[in-house]
Structure 1
Amino acid sequence: MTDASAAFVAAFAGEPAGRWAAPGRVNLIGEHTDYNDGFVLPFALGQRVVAAAARSPEPGWTVCSDFAPEPVTFTSTEIGAVQGWAAYVAGVVWALHDAGFEVPPARIAITSDVPVGAGVSSSAALESAVLTALVDLGGLDLPVAARPALAQRAENVYVGAPTGIMDQSASIRCEQGRALFLDCRTLEVEQIPFDLAAAGLAILIINSNAPHQHVDGEYGARRRSCEEAARILGVPALRDVHPGELDEALTKLDDEVMRRRVRHVVTEDQRVLDTVEQLRAGRIREIGPLMTASHASMRDDFEITVPEVDVAVRAALAAGAYGARMTGGGFGGCVLALIDADRAEATTAAVERAYAEHGFTAPTTWSATPGPGATRLP
């Protein structure tokens, strides 16, 4: 990753006031439960977006990045017209303004090693790094617990991606060596111990290298289906359907596709709760079957997997993984495999062989260690 301070100096011929970093995330379990007021269990990756920033002597905001050739400048009167990657930055400025904050004019240089399009929330990492920088630069009174909702508003309203609050919560509120148990209705969090190394385990992340895009019709269609089902069932959200009531609830729905969507969300919420219970007891290996069941539900009931991720899951399990599942919104992205720490190379080789047999583009893999959320760097 390019040094953000060096990028700032090259772009603006001056030193930044500081550097702020926010991580990408993977979701250990709990997919498409967040916008249903349910439960999620993400953890932060070591890969981060870094924003080197300083107040600007001129009105407005100029942002450059290591993944775009030209800087983008906008003022408060032009804020509604920013397109492309810079829209995530403009969205944060807009959301702060809309919440009544006086946002300091700034120059920002962005660098990142968070994979784009892999389902590890590079957009939330960008939003969270920029938000953290602007809050510090402006001395804004915005508590950490309130920041994910503001960053989510930037993505939902300004960018137009109908995501839940999990991604921003993970990027901002995660802690080193822990998974973030988030109740998406109350926004209460609990830091769940997730010490893989002490258990002799690892999470292998397999980037399927299949295209991944949230701002499209499929994600929005899943959300609308869930909201319509909740309306028909007379509950505030699908989180309010207890697993013991699921069969009865499904009889009230005439549409078979909608029934499958509801079954996924209700059972996935329970899988999150069961996973948290196992981790609290220190039984990390025992979460493997829950991960695998989650993948089957995403594949069969929510219908958001693609052949690349299904092949990766099957190959990882055949190579001895305790559990494996797609992570993220779906239609591409990454797979998580819970493995013995010394099995990373063997599992990777097994997935690579399976990809070659299917004629897929080779996957990329790395082992993930739960890291910290957004912070100012020394």
Structure 2
Amino acid sequence: MTKKIQQAFRERFNKEPLIIGAPGRVNLIGEHTDYNYGFVLPGAVDKRIYVAIAPNGTNTVNVFASQFNESYSFSLDITSPQKGWMNYLLGVSYHIQQQGKKIGGVDLVIDGDIPVGAGMSSSAALCSAYGFALNELFQLGLSRMDLAFIGQKTEHTFVGVKCGIMDQFASLHGKKGHVMKLDCRSLEYEYIPFDFPGYKIVLVNSMVSHSLAGSEYNVRRQQCEEGVAILQKHYPDIKSLRDVEPVQLLQHQAELPPVVFDRCSFIVYEKERLLAGCEALKKNDLATFGKLMFATHEGLSKKYSVSCTELDFLAECAQHITGVVGARMMGGGFGGCTINIVQAEAVDTFIQKIQSAFNGLFRITPEVYVTQIEDGTNILS
């Protein structure tokens, strides 16, 4: 991909580019915990967005997107969202300048192999790659965490998605052979070893688009906040569900509407699962970690109600295929992928069995992506 994008850039702009690669991410455990200020456990993967870039001495950004075969130019003076995917670049350019940093016009070519709509955060990777590239070209002195916040602000203000910080953080901070335990409240993080050469991370796409995810996401946030408000009457120190212990929740179950109790219990126990999962990984105990993933799926489906028939079928099916240590739905829900940890030698059989079973029931063959944990955003040439 590096050679291909370098060639495309030379042909279009007739000069030598700087090439940056920013990975997509998976989250192994810790779902819907970010907006409850809990923990997440993402890792960067070996699928990337690539940016070839060079300054052009003007005030204009000229972009060619290889995947869409589209070109576009915009002025660095634009301060409001426009139409389409360009908003990711507009937003990053705008927010960097808002921090008092001076950038100039650039020519760039974008390409990538992160499947769009698979929940691997191709949009966060695009913001990371472009922000990282500007930081390098113009020696802005921004840290990786600064760039993550710029990507997040771009999603909030130019794209209109109120995302947490996990996707941008993971793309920029990834480390081969490790996942990252990120505290979404303090933003402190710790690298946890995840070095299992005999295993692959396999994503299976339910082929259902997340049409409900946006509206239902906001409903879940409100339900969690409602639970916190009730519990705060007894425990004034509680700021979010992150601060709630299982025993406190159970003691006041009668005061919570049943649906609110279910939502809160998923989040409270998901924190316990994530912390137990990190301990298991430190001991190289993948079997225990896998069991926690299955338990998370069960909670997301039954207690948090963000799964769908197709995701439930994929997670259930995976449990009965040899070589699978753990599986669950990944991401906001109502569609997207399941994440499976599968023995490397069993991957081909796994793919064949799960595609065939899914096709037998839903009359569509799910796409499958085989990945592994890699380094974060970096200069490639």
Same fold (TM over 0.5): yes
Which of 267, 276, 279 is equivalent to 1:277? Answer: 279
Q: Secondary structure at the match of 1:322?
A: strand
Contact conserved, 1:207 with 1:365, CA < 8 A, in 2?
A: yes
Q: Which runs of 5+ in 2 are unaligned?
A: 233-237
Change (3 A) 1:347 1:101: same
Tell me the CA shift for residue 303 of structure 1: 1.5
Tell me the CA shift for residue 215 of structure 1: 7.5
Tell me the CA shift for residue 261 of structure 1: 1.8
Q: Which runs of 5+ in 1 are unaligned?
A: none
> Match for 1:242: what amino acid?
E
Output aligned runs, 1:326-345, within 5 Å.
326-345=329-348
Q: Secondary structure at the match of 1:142?
A: coil
Which of 346, 368, 371 is equivalent to 2:371? Answer: 368
TM-score by length of 2: 0.92
Contact conserved, 2:6 with 2:17, CA < 8 A, in 1?
A: no
Q: Secondary structure at the match of 2:202?
A: strand
Summarize deviations over 1:245-279 as a string: whole Å, max 9, x none: 2213544423x332222111111111111100000
Change (3 A) 1:249 1:53: farther
- Find out whether 1:300 has 2:302 as its counterpart: yes
> Match for 1:362: what amino acid?
T
Change (3 A) 1:7 1:326: same
> Match for 1:161: what amino acid?
V
TM-score by length of 1: 0.93
Summarize deviations over 1:204-258 as a string: whole Å, max 9, x none: 221222213687322233233323433443332211112232213544423x332
Summarize deviations over 1:56-107 as a string: whole Å, max 9, x none: 2221322221233432222244331322111111111122122222233222
Report the counterpart of residue 171 of structure 2 in structure 1. Answer: 171
Output aligned runs, 1:106-117, within 5 Å.
106-117=106-117
- The CA distance in 2 between the partners of 1:16 and 1:210, in whole Å, is 41
Contact conserved, 2:9 with 2:17, CA < 8 A, in 1?
A: no
Report the counterpart of residue 316 of structure 1 in structure 2. Answer: 318
- The CA distance in 2 between the partners of 1:285 and 1:326, in whole Å, is 18
Q: How many residues align?
A: 374
- The CA distance in 1 between the partners of 2:115 and 2:157, in whole Å, is 24
- Find out whether 1:86 has 2:86 as its counterpart: yes
Report the counterpart of residue 287 of structure 1 in structure 2. Answer: 289
- The CA distance in 2 between the partners of 1:71 and 1:102, in whole Å, is 24
- The CA distance in 2 between the partners of 1:361 and 1:205, in whole Å, is 16
Tell me the CA shift for residue 342 of structure 1: 1.5
Worse-superposed segment, 87-96 or 25-34: 87-96
Contact conserved, 1:35 with 1:165, CA < 8 A, in 2?
A: no
Contact conserved, 1:119 with 1:332, CA < 8 A, in 2?
A: no
Contact conserved, 2:178 with 2:191, CA < 8 A, in 1?
A: yes
Contact conserved, 1:117 with 1:213, CA < 8 A, in 2?
A: no
Change (3 A) 1:25 1:214: farther
State, as a whole percentage, how many aligned pairs show the same letter: 36
Worse-superposed segment, 187-196 or 138-147: 138-147
Report the counterpart of residue 141 of structure 2 in structure 1. Answer: 141
Output aligned runs, 1:59-208, within 5 Å.
59-197=59-197, 200-208=198-206
- The CA distance in 2 between the partners of 1:4 and 1:258, in whole Å, is 50
Tell me the CA shift for residue 31 of structure 1: 0.6
Q: Secondary structure at the match of 1:117?
A: coil
Superposed CA RMSD:
1.9
Report the counterpart of residue 222 of structure 1 in structure 2. Answer: 220
Q: Secondary structure at the match of 2:70?
A: coil
Contact conserved, 2:39 with 2:271, CA < 8 A, in 1?
A: yes
- The CA distance in 2 between the partners of 1:282 and 1:50, in whole Å, is 33
Change (3 A) 1:240 1:78: same
Q: Which runs of 4+ in 1 moved over 6 A?
A: none
Summarize deviations over 1:274-303 as a string: whole Å, max 9, x none: 100000111112111100000111111222
Q: Secondary structure at the match of 1:152?
A: helix
Contact conserved, 2:286 with 2:325, CA < 8 A, in 1?
A: no
Q: Secondary structure at the match of 1:209?
A: coil
